[in-house]
Structure 1
Amino acid sequence: MSIVRNIGAEYQPGKGTAFTVWAPKATQVELSLKSNPQTRVPLQREAFGYWTGLSEEAVPGTRYMYHLDGERDRPDPASRFQPEGVHGPSAVVDHTSFGWTDATWQGLPLDQLIIYELHVGTFSAAGTFEGVIEHLPELQDLGITAIEIMPIAQFPGSRNWGYDGVFPFAAQNSYGGPEGLKKLVNACHGHGISVVLDVVYNHMGPEGNYLNEYGHYFTHRYNTPWGDALNFDDAHCDHVRNFFIQNTLTWLRDFHIDALRLDAVHAIYDTGAKHFLQELREHVGQLEEQEGRPFLLIAESDQSDVRLINPINKGGYGLHAQWFDDYHHVIHTLVTGEMEGYFEDYGKPDQLQKALEHTFVYNGLYSEHRKKTLGTDATANPARQFVVCAQNHDQVGNRMLGERLTELVPFEMLKTVAGMILLSPYVPMLFMGEEYGEQNPFLYFVSHTDTDLVEAVRKGRKEEFAYFAAKGEAPDPQSEETFERSKLRRSYTSDPQQQKLREFYKALIQLRKTHPALAHPDKPHLRVKLDSEKLVLHLTHTGQEPHLYCLFNISNQPQKTQLHAAAGPWKPLLHSADTAWGGPGADIPEMLQQRATVSLPPASVLILELFA
């Protein structure tokens, strides 16, 4: 492994605070305490450009900056808290004093995760960590076992998706800072809910990014959509790698986070002998031994590459799971008919069967959209290594008008799609509000203070969606109204139809959590048959008895289909067309023989159980 070194301000009760910063570009580094601006503490230069010092005056809450080369004050790159935002001083944080009550919590294994992705700023009226805590009982009632929090590393202003973060160690001040995040994680564990945190190791935001003044954090070797790439394999890269490894360990160790979702790992450029992701996994393995509990690393990638999740001893990076976009794309194109952009590679019914039986649709096939051959074979990889969804922040928020699936398909199809996610063998993830058909959009929003940057963002969004001129203009990302429109209404409490949709989701989740056939769902215990003309999917889970037979009519027409069962009879367990779920009603026999013909209403899912 490469250099391992603690960085940032480490409070030591009774001794003061030890400061360590990697600043090889500086010829002089002094600690400037805002409580005593007349006094600066010189730091000592050590090997590789690290600077260290101890201040007995600095205690939790003390605000400080580093004075570089006798010229300028800058926040700590490894700051644990930025109470005044990205341009203000850093603050010392005490990670030893929080009153944790989760000593017995061990997290949940992948195949028990039912993930709920949320954005802290728009999930609640308060838009804070405390606001999320208020709604945990609702998520627990729904059956959610994990929340996935969009990035909370300090970004400019108070409104942002989180991918413009510039202080990876500092929990966003407007959300409640480090104390607020700890309260949320502690409360989640008290409700039996794991916490997945979305982190960004492929780029840094533009505003408040002072890293280049300290060291060689970026390299010119690679071009990225965000400018120079972070330096994971060029000269001085050991210390950049250490920076992000220490970041991972901080979230897992000091904040008791259970898992990290690693954003767009295909944009982490590393051609070295040991990829950064492999090294990260090794350090997390060491932390697991020290802490006595498991942690999970989940990658987002658009490369359909099993190397990410294959074991290290088999040439992989050893990550635990990855997002599986193919499944989303196949379902989305079939139910909406949209074929623009990267969706042009999808929309074929047989791709749905392939995604269920073999995982990656593009497993060494030519992609017309990308103009190249893409992907590897994931057939042998267990289903628990793949996270699937029908909606997420990217797929909703990167639409010009931020429309959710609620606005794109009929109500009955929402239930059918929910079944395809929650009854698949993969790890299901919902996007906040999906469970009741939230109608507010989820739009792209920022709150930069740099006026030139604001105009550049506005221009970029307009150019990106220029071909959608008939739909109007893209909402202004900088406008507070854009942000407010993206907040959840939670209207299911007053809308009977939305309440029924939520109850349907709840029933599906309960079935997934309790039915023997879904205890450990996997591809070898899955029988898949697709009638591509009628768009009727037959899905049978055979892991344990009694087996489950799931029928999906993903067309907007009524269909008749014959059961393809090796055994029988079958009794109906749940039908999406039932009036209890807001459906039109359905007439299904109390028992169906193994070769019975079944009439399926348009856009419906019927779940049968093998009768013993």
Structure 2
Amino acid sequence: MRIGSQYLGNNICKFTLWAPLFKEVAVHLLTPQEKIVSLERTERGYWEGEVAGVEPGTLYFYQIDGEDRADPASNSQPKGVHGPSEVLDSNAFTWNDRDWKGIPVKEMVIYELHVGTFTSEGTFTAIIEKLSYLRELGVNAIEIMPVAQFPGERNWGYDGVFPYAVQNSYGGVNGLKQLVDACHQQGIAVILDVVYNHLGPEGNYLWGLQTYFTDKYKTPWGSAINYDDAHSDGVRNYFVENVLYWLNDYHIDALRLDAVHAIYDCGAKHILQEMAEAVTKYSQDQGRKYYLIAESDLNDPRIIRSQEVGGYGVDAQWSDDFHHILHTLLTKENQGYYADFGKLEQLAKIYCCGYVYTWDYSEFRQRYHGNVPSDCKASQFVVCAQNHDQVGNRMLGDRLTGLISFEAQKIAAAVVLLSPFVPMLFMGEEYGETAPFLYFVSHGDPGLIEAVREGRKNEFAAFHAEGEAPDPQAEETFKRSRLNWDLHRQGKHKILWQFYQKLLQLRRQNPALAKLDCKQLEVSIVEPEKVLCLRRWEGENQVVCWINFDSSVTEISTNLPEGNWEKLLDSAESKWGGEGSNIPQKLNKQDKQVKNQKISLNPHSVVVYTN
């Protein structure tokens, strides 16, 4: 059932609210003339009514048992989380993307960004100016961190409390629609990060409606959203409708579902399955595919398995294991959950299946973890070297730029972009951004502000971090997190950008790299030299990559199949900011006597050949 306010034209608006435990519900219209109109209770706790004299821009509250509350399905909160809701005409915007057919997940190169810090303006429309930059780099999909209305003007977005309302400080409804429309006209898909596992602590008026949360489970944010307890049917509809709302009203191509491991549902049909079913039906109705991408640390292939074999039918998921093993190999960090990673064999394993832990014992978790995703496709795994969580949840928000060498940064790029999975970049990594990405908020409650500060300290204790974290509430913390756009034109930053661009070009142009298939690859480890050898193929085309994780020069036998091989990329060459390379441009492997020809790999380098 469609909920919230629906402008029907001719100054008539339909209002629908789900509040099954209340005896009286009305709409309190504040403009253009103040009046209160009672709603009629229908089946299963919905309240409905069509009201005349309501035009777009009208501000209103629901009056529930005599108390004013904002609409939990508000489309717009022009005065913030504590203010009234606004009636919008969803058909008022003129779209120019009629010919847009979307991009399959398997072809996506995703670029995660935060609206507030991606540009100095911090708005949706300011991003439009950067789309040509992303296209030139080789990106064809942006993933926008959550934009649901949150308190204040500064936030990562995971404190949103109005899942249907677009953050007003970013440019609101029209700003987001303009951005999506512009992206589609430039051939860029849009993924929106949405949060269905919790709501933020300030302005969360859903708590007052009683049925939306349950104490049956506990999450890191308190009581869980009620997906399977008494009166959960309206809650499920609320969030399923939210999925369809973004796809339909905003032309979003895919949703990234935040931390689904914190969504608790023991019913016979999991809420993720219900969402996936709704998206499948919507895709069929629209004649093109829309996608759901889950964030999960469960390593549970049921999330992405098809419903025909008992899965939930979500299209893809982030692979946390991929980030963790790459990060530990490059940084040698072993605090917290990084203690479970650090072996080159783990990187080899993940190239073959998508997870490191497939019912293996985890020292960090003190239990067995994961399962084998044997029937899942490589294109169902999204991988990265950095993302908002893994950077921003460090005490100082430090990126790989400040943790590893320039040569190692090139390895990070190669490991992700030469993988058989869907790659994702975090804004600025492509040129080695030096600004941190810190955690920031702009709450209005002094007690809550102090609780957030204390909570951050406790999080860092698990990683034995020393020193003081920047104040999340300070505006300066937010400003420090903005990208420095001039860097990508300078020195090694420019070289790194070109290196990313070259890798993405190879990924598009070489069939062996463009085809995402874990079954069409071989991976081996040269020990103790710390070299990973990756061979991928599609038809007659083959690509071989050697990645040297050692800090010294390493000599290896090529062991190439017979044929003529040509070097596509060598990160040690001076044009890529290296110290120079002696590895030949061509290798002729027709003579079996030279089949085991040796080459010397520079420290922290990657070499790519094709036949």
Quote the Cα distance in structure 2 between the aligned partners of 1:533 and 1:470.
31
Does residue 1:61 correspond to 2:57, yes or no? Answer: yes
| Contact 2:336–2:462 (8 Å) recurs in 1 | no
Does residue 1:224 correspond to 2:219, yes or no? Answer: yes
How many angstroms does 1:516 deviate by? 1.8
Quote the Cα distance in structure 2 between the aligned partners of 1:486 and 1:405.
15
Q: 1:365 aligns with which of 355, 360, 382?
A: 360
How many angstroms does 1:344 deviate by? 0.5
Three-state SS of the structure 2 residue aligned to 1:561 is: strand
Write the deviation string for residues 50-89 of structure 1: whole angstroms up to 9, x where unpaired: 111122222221111111212x211100001111110011
Q: 2:503 aligns with which of 499, 508, 515?
A: 508
Which consecutive unaligned segments of at least 5 residues does structure 1 have?
Answer: none
Quote the Cα distance in structure 1 between the aligned partners of 2:296 and 2:134.
28
| Contact 2:431–2:488 (8 Å) recurs in 1 | no
Partner AA of 1:14 in structure 2 = N
- 1:121 corresponds in structure 2 to 116
Q: 2:245 aligns with which of 223, 231, 250?
A: 250
Q: Which moved more, 1:113-122 or 1:213-222?
A: 213-222
- 1:581 corresponds in structure 2 to 576
Residues 365 and 577 of structure 1, relative CA distance in 2, 3 Å threshold? same
How many angstroms does 1:562 deviate by? 1.1
- 1:100 corresponds in structure 2 to 95
Q: 1:87 aligns with which of 69, 82, 90?
A: 82
Structure 1 stretches of 4+ moved >6 Å: 467-470
Quote the Cα distance in structure 2 between the aligned partners of 1:32 and 1:129.
31
Q: Which moved more, 1:262-271 or 1:53-62?
A: 53-62
- 1:605 corresponds in structure 2 to 606
Quote the Cα distance in structure 2 between the aligned partners of 1:312 and 1:564.
43
| Contact 1:22–1:215 (8 Å) recurs in 2 | no
Quote the Cα distance in structure 1 between the aligned partners of 2:91 and 2:33.
27
Quote the Cα distance in structure 1 between the aligned partners of 2:34 and 2:258.
42
Residues 590 and 392 of structure 1, relative CA distance in 2, 3 Å threshold? same
Matches within 5 A, 1:166-245: 166-245=161-240
Partner AA of 2:87 in structure 1 = V
| Contact 2:11–2:55 (8 Å) recurs in 1 | no
Q: How many residues align?
A: 605
Identical counterparts, % of pairs: 54
Matches within 5 A, 1:12-23: 12-14=8-10, 16-23=12-19
How many angstroms does 1:494 deviate by? 4.5
Q: 1:340 aligns with which of 332, 335, 342?
A: 335
Partner AA of 1:520 in structure 2 = K
| Contact 2:148–2:162 (8 Å) recurs in 1 | yes
- 2:284 corresponds in structure 1 to 289
Residues 470 and 110 of structure 1, relative CA distance in 2, 3 Å threshold? closer
Which consecutive unaligned segments of at least 5 residues does structure 2 have?
Answer: 590-595
Three-state SS of the structure 2 residue aligned to 1:186 is: helix
Partner AA of 1:151 in structure 2 = P
| Contact 2:353–2:378 (8 Å) recurs in 1 | no
- 1:318 corresponds in structure 2 to 313
Q: 2:326 aligns with which of 327, 331, 355?
A: 331
Does residue 1:35 correspond to 2:31, yes or no? Answer: yes
Residues 470 and 44 of structure 1, relative CA distance in 2, 3 Å threshold? closer
| Contact 1:164–1:204 (8 Å) recurs in 2 | yes
How many angstroms does 1:535 deviate by? 1.1
Quote the Cα distance in structure 1 between the aligned partners of 2:532 and 2:34.
73
Three-state SS of the structure 1 residue aligned to 2:470 is: coil
Write the deviation string for residues 261-293 of structure 1: whole angstroms up to 9, x where unpaired: 101111110000111111111111111122121
What TM-score do the two structures reach when normalised by structure 2?
A: 0.97
Q: Which moved more, 1:128-137 or 1:228-237?
A: 128-137
Quote the Cα distance in structure 2 between the aligned partners of 1:497 and 1:48.
62
Q: Which moved more, 1:5-14 or 1:207-216?
A: 207-216
How many angstroms does 1:493 deviate by? 4.3
Quote the Cα distance in structure 2 between the aligned partners of 1:574 and 1:147.
27
Q: Which moved more, 1:210-219 or 1:227-236?
A: 210-219
Quote the Cα distance in structure 2 between the aligned partners of 1:229 and 1:470.
30
Partner AA of 1:11 in structure 2 = Y
Residues 271 and 64 of structure 1, relative CA distance in 2, 3 Å threshold? same
Quote the Cα distance in structure 2 between the aligned partners of 1:369 and 1:45.
51
Write the deviation string for residues 488-518 of structure 1: whole angstroms up to 9, x where unpaired: 0123244221011101100101111111222
Matches within 5 A, 1:456-475: 456-466=451-461, 471-475=466-470
Partner AA of 1:89 in structure 2 = P
Q: Tell me the C-alpha RMSD between the 2 structures.
A: 1.3
Quote the Cα distance in structure 2 between the aligned partners of 1:546 and 1:290.
38
| Contact 1:349–1:532 (8 Å) recurs in 2 | no
What TM-score do the two structures reach when normalised by structure 1?
A: 0.97
Three-state SS of the structure 2 residue aligned to 1:353 is: helix
Q: 2:427 aligns with which of 406, 428, 432?
A: 432
Q: 2:531 aligns with which of 511, 531, 536?
A: 536
Partner AA of 2:298 in structure 1 = Q
Residues 214 and 36 of structure 1, relative CA distance in 2, 3 Å threshold? farther
- 2:559 corresponds in structure 1 to 564
Partner AA of 1:458 in structure 2 = R
| Contact 1:491–1:498 (8 Å) recurs in 2 | no
Write the deviation string for residues 144-191 of structure 1: whole angstroms up to 9, x where unpaired: 010001111010001001110000011111001111111111111111
- 2:5 corresponds in structure 1 to 9
How many angstroms does 1:590 deviate by? 2.6
Partner AA of 2:389 in structure 1 = D
Quote the Cα distance in structure 2 between the aligned partners of 1:471 and 1:275.
41
| Contact 2:247–2:254 (8 Å) recurs in 1 | yes
Write the deviation string for residues 82-127 of structure 1: whole angstroms up to 9, x where unpaired: 1111001111121112111111111111211000000000000100
Does residue 1:24 correspond to 2:25, yes or no? Answer: no
Quote the Cα distance in structure 2 between the aligned partners of 1:493 and 1:517.
30
Three-state SS of the structure 2 residue aligned to 1:465 is: helix
Q: Which moved more, 1:94-103 or 1:253-262?
A: 94-103
Quote the Cα distance in structure 2 between the aligned partners of 1:491 and 1:561.
40
Matches within 5 A, 1:549-560: 549-560=544-555
